Structures are given as C-alpha cells and as structure tokens.
Structure 1
Amino acid sequence: MRTAPPAPVQGATPVTHRALAPDLARGLMLLLIALAHAHMYLGGHPAGFRGYTLDGDALDRLVAGVQILLVDGRALPMFAALFGYGLVQLANRQLATGRSWPQVRKVLRRRSLWLLAFGFCHALLLFFGDILGAYGLIGLVFVGLIRREDRTVLRAAVAGLVAHVVVLAGFGLLTISGPKGDTPAAMGDPMEALMMRLIGWSGMTPTYFAASVVPAFLFGIWAARRRLLEDPLAHRDLLSRIAVLGTAVAIVGGVPLTLIDTQLWTPSDLTAVSAYAVHSLTGIAGGLAYAAIIGLVAARMRPGHPGPIVRALSACGQWSLTCYLLQSVIFVAVFTPYLGGLSTRVGDAAASGIAVLTWLATVVLAALLAPSGRRGPAEVLLRRLTYGRR
C-alpha cells in the first residue's frame, strides 16, 4: 500500500498575520540584550561578578547598579522564554499542515543544529558571550518536551532551576578565585582574541548559558500552550500576577549583588557568591515578568492599529536574529583595540549609551525594511538551511 506524501512545509507566517506581543517583546528585549553585552567589551579595569568596572566614576557606578538590578540576568531569561514560546508556535504550524510529530521533531532538531552552528560562527568571529549556541543545544536536547504533559515540563523546569543555582555558584567561586584579565573582546591581538572566544564559548555554552536558558525555555513552552502572548487580553489576570510577582522577586533578589558590584557593600566571599546565585535565580522571574508586562501592553492596544513606535519595535522583533548579530558587529567595530579602540577609553555609562544607539539603529533598519515583507537576512538563511529551497 502506498503511503501518501507528507504535507508541504508551511512557510513563514506572513507579517500581517503575526501576533503582536511576541514580536514586540523580542524587539524590546534586544535593548536589554544590548545593554547587558556592551560593557563586556570593556577591558583594562578590575571587574565585579557581572563584569562591570570597579574603578568607574559615580555615573558609571549608577548605570552599573541600575543594569545589575533590572537588566543583567533578566534579559537572557526573557529571551529564553520567548525562544521556547516560538518553538511551540513553529511546531504547531508544522503540525497544522498534516505532518506527523516525528517529521516535525526532525525539522526542529535540524533548526536547532543550525542555531548551534550560528552560535559557533558568532563566537568565532564576534562575541564570546554568544547565546545562540545554548539555544541550539537546548533545542536539540529538550525538543521532545514540547509534546509532554505540563507536569513533566514543570518538573523539568524545577530540576533546571536547581542546576542553575549549582552552576552559578560554581561560576561565582571562579570569579572570586580565578585569574583576572581582559575579556576576549578587549584583547589587542585578533588571533589571541579569536582563540579565547572559542575557548570561552565552548565552556560556557553547555554549562553557564545552557543552565541559564533551560528553566525559562521550559516556562516559555508552558506559556505557549496557553497562548498567553498571542491572546493576552484573555489572560490579563494571569499576566498581571506574573508581572507583579516576578518584578518584585527580581528586584528583591537583585539588591544584594547590586550593592556588592557597586562597592556599597563588601561581604564575605561566601555571601558574595550566594548573592550572585540568588541574583541570577530571581532574574528568571524578572525575565518572565518583563514578557508578561509587554503582553499586557499589547492587550491594551486596538487590534490591527499599532502606532508607529510599536510597529518599529515589532519589526525589530521580526528581525530579532539579524538584529542580535548586528549588535555584535557594531560592538566589535566600536570597542575592540584593533578597530574602534574604545574598550579601554570609556566606562560603563558610555558603553551603555553606545548600546542604546546601536539598538535604535537596528530598530530603524528593521522598521524601514520589514513592512515591505522582507525577512531579516539571518532569518532567511536559517529558514533556507532548515527547510531547503521549498
């Protein structure tokens, strides 16, 4: 008996049919990512747990304090939750075409494998703190949980939280006892920087970043099953609770490390490492809260009538992979000693100002090109590698 051929692969969702909240969240999230990454290109200064300089002036310390409290360790979980959310959306679109789950799982794993390759290239050429590789690794390992019951997903998330604390405590101990030196982004020799980027990425992807991504990724799967961001109006009460509780937990949990890294408090090493782990753990709640807040904002907008700013931010979200990589291109051009050379000449405040300008430039670029139906070049390449030319 002949088997019917599989249904054709569904193409990318047309821009006009995309849900507003997930794209808006991704667009705003890229601002937090830029702020969290820019100071990591600085060198020549002693740095704290989160990489901010310890010898900056009052403005640098103020900026560092605000970002440690509200940005660092909060942007990555938000990004991870949106990644899990988007993977469920992608699987649902594939299943809706009539494809079987084994076929869909194969597509998702192929996409994750290419994301891992993107991350390798990103680290090789631009930035040791790449997170694409971690997403690809998580997608390869945990894609099966998309079809498992909620209880299993939430249990895995709790186990991920435990692993997260253990890994972060280990990195905190390394920060205190390990050698101090410039980050790969601030090294003057391009080949030495390249080798150090690969070494750092190879170690951080399966440990630090993967442990940081897993819990939020799984919570994103849970949220996508309930369409929390696709239909935020129907889930306004739940999103409100997540927003309020998550923000409160993140702020309370972030205060101790903020005081330590801005040198307003000098506790014992054990207390400092504990504060570092608590900061990162509560940051997961903060990342989920930020996504919920954006969902609530989207729920208040008239359907089909976003303003020009919202349209621009959503366009940036549609181009999130391209804009993320463009940030690294600009930072390398501006900061590295063998190009722009600002890594040793500016402080945290100036680096954050450059981050905001960089993010604005990517928003403008996406806003100009996305409304015509164009996909970001990185998004087009990832789809071509995943699905072929069909």
Structure 2
Amino acid sequence: MTAPEPGPGPTPVAARALGPDLARGAMLLCIALANSHYFLRGPAVLGGYPRGGSELDAAVVWLLTTFVDGRAFPLFGLLFGYGVARIADRQAHRGPRRVRRLLWRRALGLIGVGFLHAVLLYVGDILAAYGVLLLVGAWLVRWPDRRLLVLAGLFFALGALPGGDSMTIDADPPGVEMLPPDLMTMLVRRPPVSVFVAVLGPIGFLCPFALGLWAGRRRILERPERHRVLLRAVAVGGLGVAVAGAQPIALVLAGLVDVPGRDVLELIGPLHDATGVPGGCGYAALVSLVALRFADRRGPLVEAIAATGQRSMTCYLAQSPVWTVTFAPFLLDLSGTLTVAGTALLAASTWLVTVVLADAMRRRGTPGPFEVLLRRITYGFVSRS
C-alpha cells in the first residue's frame, strides 16, 4: 500500500510510510546495544569490550560486533538523508533559498539539543553531528544524482583506509569524558569533546547521508512495492557484505583468535567500519520489505515499534539517563561490575521501555516532546501529528 501524498508542512501520521518509521524504531535497539558497552571497564579493553569474560559474554560480543556495531549508525545516517530529501521535496514550493533556510533551522535545533545532550548525559551524542552535517547537506539536496553518488563513493573509500582511528580497535578503557568522577569535571571536560565529535562526526555520516538523499528522491523506502528487486538485492548483498566484513575483528573481540599486531588491527578495524555502510543499507531494505508485508495488517508489535520510530529523537534521548545513572562514578558506578551480557540485557530492556512509552503516546495521539520542539524550530509551529 502506498502512503498518501503529503501536503506542505511536517508529514502527518496518516501520511507517513511504515518502512522508515519501522526501521528507526527497530534500530534504536541496536543504538542502545552499541552505545552502552563502551562504558564498560576491565583489566584489558579492546573495541569497547572488556577482555576475558565468560563464554556467554564472548557470544554476545560476536553477535554485537557482527550485527550491531558500525551497522546501526550508517542506517540512521541513511534515514537522516532520506528524511531531508523528503522535507526538501515537500517544501519545494518555497523555492531553494527558503528550503535551505528551513533545513538550517532544523540543523541548529539538532546542534543545540545535541550539545546539551552530550554535555549533560552522553558525550557520544550524534544529534549535533547530524546538525553540522545538515548545515552542509542543505546544499547537497540540489546536487544531481551522479554527483551525490560520487560523493558517497569518495567518503566510503575514505572510511575504508587503514588507520588507528576506528572505534572498533580502540584499546583504551573509557576516558573521563564518558565516566567523569564528579559533576564539575563532567561540565568542564565534556564541552570541548562534544564540539570535536560534532565537527568530525559528519565525515563518517556523509556516505550514508548522500545515499539517503538519492533514495529519498525516489521514495524507495516508502514505495517498496515498486522496488522489490532492488530492495531484495540490497538486503541480501548489503547484509552479506556486512557480516563477512565483520568477521576478522569479531573473532578477535570475542576472544576466538589471538589479538594480532597493531598493523593488522589497523586494517581489519576500518574494514569492519566500511562494510557497516552496506550493512546499514541492507537493514533499511530488509525492514522496508517487512513493512510491505505488514502494511495492510499491522499488529500491536508493528504499531508500537513504528510509534517508536515516529518519536525516534525522544526515544534516543530517553536512553541516555539510563547510561548516566548506571555507569557514572558519582551515581551507581557499575562500569566495572556489569558484564557484556548484562549490559546488553540492560540496553534491550531500556529500548523495550521506550517502545512501551512510545506506544502509549501513540494511543493518546501525543507526539514526542523533542519532535514537537524540532518541528517548532523548523517550521515555526507545533504540529500534533
């Protein structure tokens, strides 16, 4: 079933396609799993995972490294670009200059919320990086397809270059920015780190963002019935590449093979990161095909996860208080106590709570508060859709 054509302004719920919302809602589970384990401490840490855990921990590490780490964030980058393309198309009647200004207002809203989020709750925030990306991306919406795809290819190749800046091979335990000993240290140390992450983060998101702009122009995720062959090929090929490309580092992090030398880590770490881009595209394609199957007969679970996706910014921000309370040294300080498996269970439980809360808001017809805020900044009014 094709979603009805939207009119000017933010897209009302009745006009939203199931695929993108379902993808955002489901992948917030992966975001929770990917973010939470980087708080863990131990005698030896590699790739955000303490070494020497139980067999269950090793299995969880393999699963997360293969299917989650470096795979969910490219998906959100793609969905972000897809959403920007749809906003630009819906607002095309305003003219290019006014569309850019609208997107810049949205970018400033993301930067403001993201910076506060990074300083007060989670220093690894991605919202501010998305905002910085959109300051540039507002110009990209008018680029021709070929130029967008060339840009995506260039930044994909850049991300695949051997080097030691991959989170996958980070051998250090979490620093004081993630685990500040007290509130004052947190407020002093986090702002410059947050600015650094926001400024450099867009480099890693530019490839999936450009691909999302390209896909958004064609409404591929909203009209999967017209693109079944492409979506099936991307789902199988993209996820296959992501799984295969993850294995060299996944086997190391899970403790199934010995840790190689730094020169080898600097090859397999970027390989893991780079193959996450086709993995993110594969996830988007897979969820769109699932959405096509359930478009005319949504059950309670599909509705709840889609409601989470419709409130993805609010639900993403709602995860961070859990990490702060659980891991901050001046609060529960469980970074050295929880195992990888225990932290994964905490992350899944946190996501499940946000799904329940989002579904409750859907039943009441209430949008997410941060979605309302961003819409007001972007469009100048509050929409209850």
Q: Shorter-chain TM-score: which interval?
A: over 0.9
Whole-angstrom distance in 2 between the partners of 1:324 and 1:89: 22
Q: Does 1:169 align with 2:163?
A: yes
Partner of 2:210: 218
| TM-score, length basis structure 1 | 0.91
Secondary structure at the aligned position of 1:219 is classed as helix
Whole-angstrom distance in 2 between the partners of 1:249 and 1:60: 25
Partner of 1:335: 327
**Given that residues 60 and 340 in structure 2 are in contact (C-alpha distance below 8 angstroms), is that contact kept between their aligned partners in structure 1?**
yes
Partner of 1:377: 369
Distance apart, 1:322 and its partner CA: 0.2
Q: Does 1:240 align with 2:235?
A: no
> Which residue among 190, 195, 199 is the counterpart of 2:188?
195
Q: Quickly say closer, same or farther: Cα 1:174–1:329, change in 2 above 3 A.
A: closer
Partner of 2:147: 152
**Given that residues 100 and 139 in structure 2 are in contact (C-alpha distance below 8 angstroms), is that contact kept between their aligned partners in structure 1?**
yes
Secondary structure at the aligned position of 1:147 is classed as coil
Q: Does 1:48 align with 2:41?
A: no
Whole-angstrom distance in 2 between the partners of 1:261 and 1:196: 29
Alignment map for 1:3-14 (pairs within 5 Å): 10-14=8-12
Whole-angstrom distance in 2 between the partners of 1:199 and 1:353: 32
Partner of 2:290: 297
Whole-angstrom distance in 2 between the partners of 1:116 and 1:12: 20
> Which residue among 83, 87, 94 is the counterpart of 1:99?
94
Q: Quickly say closer, same or farther: Cα 1:157–1:338, change in 2 above 3 A.
A: same
Partner of 2:220: 228
Q: Quickly say closer, same or farther: Cα 1:195–1:262, change in 2 above 3 A.
A: farther
How big is each residue's C-alpha offset from its partner over 1:212-251, in whole Å with a ceiling of 9 and x where there is no partner? 2110111111111111111111111100000000011101
Question: How many equivalent pairs are there?
Answer: 375
| TM-score, length basis structure 2 | 0.92
Q: Quickly say closer, same or farther: Cα 1:161–1:182, change in 2 above 3 A.
A: same
Partner of 1:316: 308
**Given that residues 260 and 272 in structure 1 are in contact (C-alpha distance below 8 angstroms), is that contact kept between their aligned partners in structure 2?**
no
Whole-angstrom distance in 2 between the partners of 1:183 and 1:164: 27
- Code of the residue aligned with 2:373 in structure 1: it is L
Secondary structure at the aligned position of 2:294 is classed as coil
Structure 2 residues not aligned, in runs of 5+: 1-6
**Given that residues 238 and 279 in structure 2 are in contact (C-alpha distance below 8 angstroms), is that contact kept between their aligned partners in structure 1?**
yes
Deviating above 6 A after TM superposition, structure 1's stretches of 4 or more consecutive aligned residues are none
Q: Quickly say closer, same or farther: Cα 1:313–1:181, change in 2 above 3 A.
A: closer
Secondary structure at the aligned position of 1:185 is classed as coil
Secondary structure at the aligned position of 2:186 is classed as helix
Alignment map for 1:121-136 (pairs within 5 Å): 121-136=116-131
Structure 1 residues not aligned, in runs of 5+: 1-8
Partner of 1:345: 337
Q: Does 1:89 align with 2:89?
A: no
Q: Does 1:249 align with 2:241?
A: yes
Aligned-residue CA RMSD (Å): 2.0
Distance apart, 1:44 and its partner CA: 4.4
Distance apart, 1:175 and its partner CA: 5.8
Partner of 1:6: none
**Given that residues 15 and 373 in structure 1 are in contact (C-alpha distance below 8 angstroms), is that contact kept between their aligned partners in structure 2?**
no
- Code of the residue aligned with 2:353 in structure 1: it is A
How big is each residue's C-alpha offset from its partner over 1:44-99, in whole Å with a ceiling of 9 and x where there is no partner? 442113x111132222221111101110000000010000001111111212xx21
Whole-angstrom distance in 2 between the partners of 1:106 and 1:183: 38
Whole-angstrom distance in 1 between the partners of 2:30 and 2:258: 26
